[in-house]
Structure 1
Amino acid sequence: LLALAVAALQMLLDRGEQTDWFEALEIQFYAITVILALYLFTVHMLTSRNRFLDPALFRDRNFVSGTLFIFIVGMVLLSTMALMPPFLQQWKGYPVITTGLILMPRGIGSMLTMMLVSRLMKIIDPRLVILAGLGLAGLALHLMAGFTLEVSQRDLIITGFLQGAGLGLVFVPVSALTYVTLAPHLRGDGTALFSLMRNLGSSIGVSVVMALLSRNMWINQQQLGERIQVPQELLETLPSTTELLGLPARALFEVTRQAAEIAYINNFELLTWVSIAAMPMVFLFSRPDRSCTDAIAGETVSHR
């Protein structure tokens, strides 16, 4: 039942944008399947003797907080990775190799902070490490909200590195805090559910931001197109009918470019505010004592 719900949800997210979402019978079918399968799964969890997941998982405060937190973080931060390749290739005109090189510092930033995070958590409350990571990622998104289509490669690399560093400071401590108070016999099921929530969050986030991008581009294009006026003086200076006929195509191309720029800015602004709103959720985790801090550092090393 859980697999059916997840599969139907993935199909809904993948096909929704192409079929105008709930206007299509196909999407309505997927939505009904998700709701029904989740309902039956919940009934099974509450009534069956041989439960698929042990209810004790949901009595652990850190585990519940961690799965909820990783869902939201995956939805917000990982969705940015889906926005950047089309921005760089379609609107900046970069080839695939250049796009990959520009995005590479994100991975370098994550690698560096993941190497340092276990040492940081021995001397700093892990929740503050997560908060710092969210702050770095939020700062990167705030800077990205100021991008134009003329943004330099230097700015793209800096923001990518900052976001990667923030992700490294977030994911490792969240994973460790989630499991540190969980009973050993529950960790197998807990790991599976934690990974599922992270993947679902990223899938939903990607679908939402891409849908918003398409919708905002269409709205912006309509609003900008209404304001286009060709002065009579310009028309009189055109030496040929060919140039006159070329004006609409050039104007439409520029309107589309500007609409895309505004749509990306709107998405980055939204993700910035959601990142800020997620910061207080860090304190849903119980405050770790010294022994837990050492255990968390050990968990981090084992995860790495």
Structure 2
Amino acid sequence: MEITPATTSQATDAFKPSSLVLATLGLSLGTFMQVLDISIANVSLPTIAGNLAASQDQSTWVITSFTVCQAITLPMTGFLSRRFGEVKVFIWAVLLFSLFSLACGLATSLPMLVAFRAMQGAVCGPMYPITQSLMVSIYPREKRAMALAIISMITVVAPIVGPVAGGWITDSYSWRWIFFINVPIGLFAAGLVLVQMRARMEQLRRERIDWVGAATLILGVGSLQVMLDRGNELDWFGSSTIVALAAVAVVSLTVFVIWELTDQRPIVDLRLFRHRNFAAGTLALVLAFGLFFSVALMLPLWLQNTLGYTAMWSGLAVAPMGVIPILLTFWVGKYAARFDLRWLTAASFIVMSFVCFRFGSFNTEVDFVHIALTELALGLGIALFFMPILTILLSDLDGPEVAEGSGSATFLRTVGASFAVSITTYLWTRGAAESHARLAEFITLSNAEVRRGIAASGGSLQHYAAGINQAITQQAMQISFNQIFDALGFCFLALIAIVWLSKPPFVRAQARGR
């Protein structure tokens, strides 16, 4: 059956849940659980790695496997919604997410945990865009801005709660409970949505899925991600495995791009990049979010592995990042249209650059207050970033292109974040090894300080060597951390030029597409 926009709009507007509050609560909890699950795991990575006998760079697979699989299923949201219905897809996604969360908590090895995290990511891909669509559909037209504000607030609050909750749970109980807590939340959220929205009429239709696009996307992104994650461990292109993965990634992604540009119903509409603002805005979004996600992942690892923080105190140190976004989200949304959005985005990048340079200047003696205040400043950059850049990239799209553009940008942003994490983790580990080698060159018996240190250790060279190696390792990690954050700072500044490739008006074009 052919569905016209008018018919779809009438069917959507006709249904209202018996309790708007309970329906909103159910939808919000599902999204909150998904967003929380990323940030709550970050601070627990060192503990997970130690418990499962894994290295620091191997433990990041817990994050990257989730984000890559989430990115792969994101473009399939539209197809799944039209084929099975938004309410049914949401409920099943929440239930399966809860099931795989339980499996993550029961995992007995890192490969098992990574596999279940990948399944988590795969089933939660459609949850966020479907939540947006359902929230908009159940609210009156004059209150739809409020519905979107609620969703935006969830994405801001969850990263604040996540590190603190993850740290407290890990320190007080076990890292496994950061996954177990999803089970009751998920069951409650799915139950609320089922009761409140099962009567919602949805007009379904069978349509073909772009299997070639889906297959080449999975092969290309998956191969590239595994290559990035295992490159350091396997000596990069000295390994036949890495060469094979690189070849599969290049061929698959080349076929994917060509196919998507020529297929009538592509899974990812790359033709949207013919629009200037969408191309510039999406490029800026993907790169900036990748840089930001690297910062968000590296900080808890640095606090725990280099500075010796507990998971709880690590979460408290990074939590101030969300304070300013909570305070400013409403005002930015209300008044941003009065300014050139390129200036707001540029200001965001300047703030984030300053924060990176600030972290790059710290040493191992930095105190909690300075770290927390720097995280607080990072929140200003976040508050000025998301709304303006999303408005820019959607501003020259019309009608159905708006939904397609939003989904494509979210997909590319998620993939970019996953790749950025793998790259920065590798650079951090490699830089630390190089710094360790340089510092160790000065530890010789001809060095007077070394001889005095050995004497202070009771004449035991072995005891002194163990202690000095630990100190060198800590300083090497700190040096590499500083170098990476300085580089991140310069990258944020370079992104300002990309934003200025876009061209106003932004709000007027956006309004026309609605």
TM-score where L is the length of structure 1: 0.89
Give the CA deviation at 1:56: 4.3
Relative contact order (C-alpha < 8 Å, sep 6+): which is higher? Answer: 1
Query: 1:270 — aligned with what?
Result: 487
Q: 1:249 aligns with which of 466, 469, 472?
A: 466
Does structure 1 retain, via aligned residues, the 8 Å contact 2:454–2:461? no
- Seq. identity, %: 26
* Shift in alpha-carbon separation, 1:248–1:41, aligned structure 2, 3 A: same
Q: Give yes or no for the alignment of 1:74 onto 2:289.
A: yes
Give, as a single letter, the amino acid of the residue that structure 1 aligns with 2:495.
A
In structure 2, runs of 5+ residues without a counterpart are 1-215
Q: 1:155 aligns with which of 367, 370, 375?
A: 370
Q: Give yes or no for the alignment of 1:41 onto 2:259.
A: no
Query: 2:414 — aligned with what?
Result: 199
Does structure 2 retain, via aligned residues, the 8 Å contact 1:112–1:165? no
Does structure 1 retain, via aligned residues, the 8 Å contact 2:283–2:498? no
* Shift in alpha-carbon separation, 1:108–1:247, aligned structure 2, 3 A: same
TM alignment of 1:1-304, pairs within 5 A: 1-54=216-269, 56-229=271-444, 230-231=447-448, 234=452, 237-238=455-456, 240-241=458-459, 243-288=460-505, 291-292=508-509, 295=511
Give, as a single letter, the amino acid of the residue that structure 2 aligns with 1:189.
E
Distance in 2 between residues matched to 1:146 and 1:260, nearest whole Å:
14
Aligned partner of residue 287 in structure 1, secondary structure = coil
1:197-249 deviations in Å (ceiling 9; x for gaps): 111221121111111111111111111111124428627955844x4431111
* Shift in alpha-carbon separation, 1:238–1:175, aligned structure 2, 3 A: closer
Distance in 2 between residues matched to 1:273 and 1:147, nearest whole Å:
17
Give the CA deviation at 1:169: 0.9
Does structure 2 retain, via aligned residues, the 8 Å contact 1:54–1:186? no
Aligned partner of residue 443 in structure 2, secondary structure = coil
Aligned partner of residue 385 in structure 2, secondary structure = helix
The two structures, once aligned, show a CA RMSD in angstroms of 2.4
Does structure 1 retain, via aligned residues, the 8 Å contact 2:268–2:408? no
Give, as a single letter, the amino acid of the residue that structure 2 aligns with 1:31.
A
Give, as a single letter, the amino acid of the residue that structure 1 aligns with 2:498.
M
Question: For structure 1, which segment, 33-42 or 282-291, has the greater mean C-alpha deviation from structure 2 after superposition?
Answer: 282-291
Give the CA deviation at 1:48: 3.9
In structure 1, runs of 5+ residues without a counterpart are 300-304
Query: 2:38 — aligned with what?
Result: none
Aligned partner of residue 92 in structure 1, secondary structure = coil
Give, as a single letter, the amino acid of the residue that structure 2 aligns with 1:184.
G
Give, as a single letter, the amino acid of the residue that structure 2 aligns with 1:166.
G
Distance in 1 between residues matched to 2:457 and 2:346, nearest whole Å:
62
Distance in 1 between residues matched to 2:263 and 2:457, nearest whole Å:
82
* Shift in alpha-carbon separation, 1:45–1:244, aligned structure 2, 3 A: closer
Does structure 1 retain, via aligned residues, the 8 Å contact 2:286–2:412? yes
Aligned partner of residue 181 in structure 1, secondary structure = coil
Aligned partner of residue 205 in structure 1, secondary structure = helix
Distance in 2 between residues matched to 1:165 and 1:33, nearest whole Å:
41
1:101-159 deviations in Å (ceiling 9; x for gaps): 11111122333332321233132211111111111111111111111011111111111
Does structure 1 retain, via aligned residues, the 8 Å contact 2:457–2:463? no
Give the CA deviation at 1:32: 1.2
Give, as a single letter, the amino acid of the residue that structure 1 aligns with 2:452.
L
Give, as a single letter, the amino acid of the residue that structure 2 aligns with 1:112.
L
Does structure 2 retain, via aligned residues, the 8 Å contact 1:107–1:164? yes
Give the CA deviation at 1:161: 1.4
Aligned partner of residue 79 in structure 1, secondary structure = helix
Does structure 1 retain, via aligned residues, the 8 Å contact 2:392–2:506? no
Distance in 2 between residues matched to 1:118 and 1:236, nearest whole Å:
62
TM-score where L is the length of structure 2: 0.54
Does structure 1 retain, via aligned residues, the 8 Å contact 2:273–2:279? yes
Give, as a single letter, the amino acid of the residue that structure 2 aligns with 1:262.
I
What is the number of residues matched between the two proteins?
Answer: 296
Question: For structure 1, which segment, 12-21 or 172-181, has the greater mean C-alpha deviation from structure 2 after superposition?
Answer: 12-21
Aligned partner of residue 132 in structure 1, secondary structure = helix
Give, as a single letter, the amino acid of the residue that structure 2 aligns with 1:109.
I
1:172-201 deviations in Å (ceiling 9; x for gaps): 211111112211211232122101211122
Distance in 1 between residues matched to 2:284 and 2:454, nearest whole Å:
61
* Shift in alpha-carbon separation, 1:206–1:290, aligned structure 2, 3 A: closer
Give, as a single letter, the amino acid of the residue that structure 2 aligns with 1:181.
D
* Shift in alpha-carbon separation, 1:184–1:222, aligned structure 2, 3 A: same
* Shift in alpha-carbon separation, 1:121–1:66, aligned structure 2, 3 A: same
Does structure 1 retain, via aligned residues, the 8 Å contact 2:269–2:408? no
